[in-house]
Structure 1
Amino acid sequence: MKRSNTSPLLTFLIAASMLPLSANASKFYGAKPLESQWQVTVDTPIECRVEHMIPNYGMATFTSRASKKINLDFELEMRRPMGQTENVALVSMPAVWRPGDAAEYIDRLRFFKQFDGYVDGQTAWSMLAELEDGRFPTFSFQEWQSRGKRVEVALSAVSFQQPYNEFSNCISGLLPYSFEDIAFTVLHYNDNGDELNKPSMAKLAQIAEFVRYSPDIDLVLMATYTDGRGAKAANQRMSEVRAKNLEEYFMSLGLPKDRIQVEAFGERRPIADNDSPIGRNKNRRVVISLGRSII
């Protein structure tokens, strides 16, 4: 018998190009093996993102952000958003070169009219796990333009592992707090000085770390206060020194001066009784508020 001249690699690619398509699907979107690309596009301590282009359909994106909780979002950015709200079946399809494997149900979702597809939480993590296992998470839903027909949109596991390793490493380095955790912060000073106390210095370091990697933070508002002991003029000067030091600190992080607003109130606007040490400690404070542009 004559031996075939087809190489094992070519046989693999021919088989792999026959991506899953159910019998009642009218359209299938998914990258062929030579088209399949995954790319880590954001790798910072405040955000990790890996993207996958689905030819003729749109972009699939996994994103995890700095937070007290482990999180993961998936977005299916469609070139043409849904024309009506649809129920969506999310199924893990086996690669065609693994014929012994069966399709497995992941979840039932809803994609909303005029919005991209969105998945979060455990379901998003399950999608990553299926991709790591060499399977194809596939969305199946009714085509809103043609009743009775369905569309299938698949994520390809080809060329996934290396970008996934980079994405996982990025997630392990995310800051354990979010913008919301530091957007409004009250810090306190040591007695008779312009230095923050130790807990406040640690909190300021967190704010600085977030600002350093956040180009969308476009405003820092700061108001400094003193306690009521001593001369009013001296307290005002101390408040101004504290405000100036903080302004220079945030400028050293790369924030332009026109995005920093500081005001020194001295002993005005106390929030506690100045007759007690606890009250004076509460009054020796700086209030920091961060503004963030929407990208």
Structure 2
Amino acid sequence: MEKSSWQFSGNIFQCDISHDVEGFGKFKLTASPGDELIISLQADWLKLQNQSSEIVIESSTWQQQRNKPFAMSELNWQGHFAHTSRNSAAFLEALEQGLTWQVNIDPNSNVKYQVRSTPVATRSVVKQFRLCKQDLLPKPFSYVRRVDLHFHSNSSRLENHFESDLVAIARYIEADANITEVLIDGHADATGERLVNLQLSKERAFEIQSRLVELGVPANMIQVRNHGSRNPVASNNSAQGRELNRRVMVRLVKGNTLAAVQSHKVVR
């Protein structure tokens, strides 16, 4: 029975619980920063393309059977891998209750497969998974690697709703030793005089630098530049375009792992 149990692994970048299905492959439930839970089934030998399979929650063999499944979803196949995020929270809850995952696979009219999990010692594993999920970073690298923060006209004050982005950036920098540099570029729209816009873009950039330092980002990792109304991303002939141009762009640069670790040891 130990070989049929669910296993937990995780850190602040990703949390997983997995279950080997003898003779078929592996179930997995994954939590990643900023994303929904993902249910997946990896097959060792079965390969399907652009097909779907029903996944349901059933009573375990030793539990009283019900006429209808507790919940269901649909896995989408791409090669040996099938996954879904729909109704995934219900499947996590089912594991905690000791219920069974069952996938019904119909690759063609002549062949059908039924893949079932064994809910052995799931409660403690689900508890570990939930605790790990609480400690995940707010956003993944794909989000924080480049963030545009927008400003009101003639203002260098950051709007409150962008504060969560700065927190996510700072948390990621602290967690990932591969981040070696933070590039901050300030911009303005084309309204007003050129030198005024150049100064305004500078004030915006330094406002973001100051806030990141307050959140714990080492100052010597940050490079600040200001561009005034140069390099617009949209036309300055419309209010919407000017709003997009009033921005500070924050980018995270990754270096090689060894150099990054040595750099972090110096600045911390």
Task: Give TM class, smaller chain.
Answer: 0.5 to 0.7
Give yes or no for contact 1:58–1:79 (8 Å, CA) kept in 2. Answer: yes
Q: Is the 8 A contact 1:92 1:136 kept in 2?
A: yes
1:120 corresponds to 2:85: yes
Conservation of the 8 A alpha-carbon contact between 1:82 and 1:115 = yes
The residue identity in structure 2 corresponding to 1:36 is S
Amino acid at match of 2:115: V
Q: CA, structure 1 residues 126+198, in 2 after alignment: closer, same or farther (shift >3 Å)?
A: closer
Unaligned runs of 5+ in 1: 1-32, 274-281
Q: Per the alignment, do residues 117 and 215 of structure 1 end up closer, same or farther by CA in structure 2, a change over 3 Å counting?
A: farther
Q: Deviation at 1:114?
A: 1.6
CA distance in 2, matches of 1:91, 1:119: 12
Structural RMSD (CA): 4.9
What secondary structure does 1:35 align onto? helix
CA drift of 1:157 comes to 0.8
CA distance in 2, matches of 1:177, 1:137: 29
Specify whether residues 186 and 74 from structure 1 end up closer, same or farther in structure 2 by C-alpha distance, changes over 3 A only: same
- Tell me how far 1:181 sits from its aligned partner: 6.1
Query: Would you say the 8 A contact 1:138–1:153 is kept in 2?
Result: yes
Amino acid at match of 1:127: F
What's the offset of the Cα at 1:203?
4.3
Question: How far did residue 139 of structure 1 move?
Answer: 0.8
Q: CA deviation at 1:166?
A: 1.2
In the other structure, the counterpart of 2:106 is 142
Structure 2 alignment gaps of length 5 or more: 237-243, 255-268
Candidates 24, 42, 46, aligned match of 2:10: 42
Distance in 1, Cα, partners of 2:48 & 2:195: 68
Which residue of the partner structure matches residue 24 of structure 1?
Answer: none
Match of 1:56 among 4, 23, 35: 23
Shift of 1:208: 1.0
Is the contact between residue 94 and residue 102 of structure 1 (CA under 8 Å) also seen in structure 2?
A: yes
Deviation (angstroms), 1:110: 5.2
Which residue matches 1:73?
Answer: 38
Tell me the CA shift for residue 47 of structure 1: 3.5
Where is the helix percentage greater, Structure 1 or Structure 2? 2
Say whether 1:166 aligns with 2:97: no
- Per the TM alignment, residue 230 of structure 1 is displaced from its structure 2 partner at its CA by 11
Equivalent pairs, count: 239
After superposition, the C-alpha distances for 1:91-149 in whole angstroms (9 at most, x for unaligned) are: 33433333x32464343635435251112121x222222222222111122355xx633
Q: Identity over the aligned pairs, expressed in percent?
A: 19
Moved more, 221-230 or 81-90: 221-230
Against the structure 1 CA distance between its residues 86 and 204, is the aligned structure 2 distance closer, same or farther, given a 3 Å change threshold? closer
Residues 182-238 of structure 1: CA deviation (Å, up to 9, x unaligned): 5422266xx9xxx97584666433321133335787885431358988979x959x6
Residue aligning to 1:11: none
2:54·2:73 contact (CA, 8 Å) conserved in 1? yes
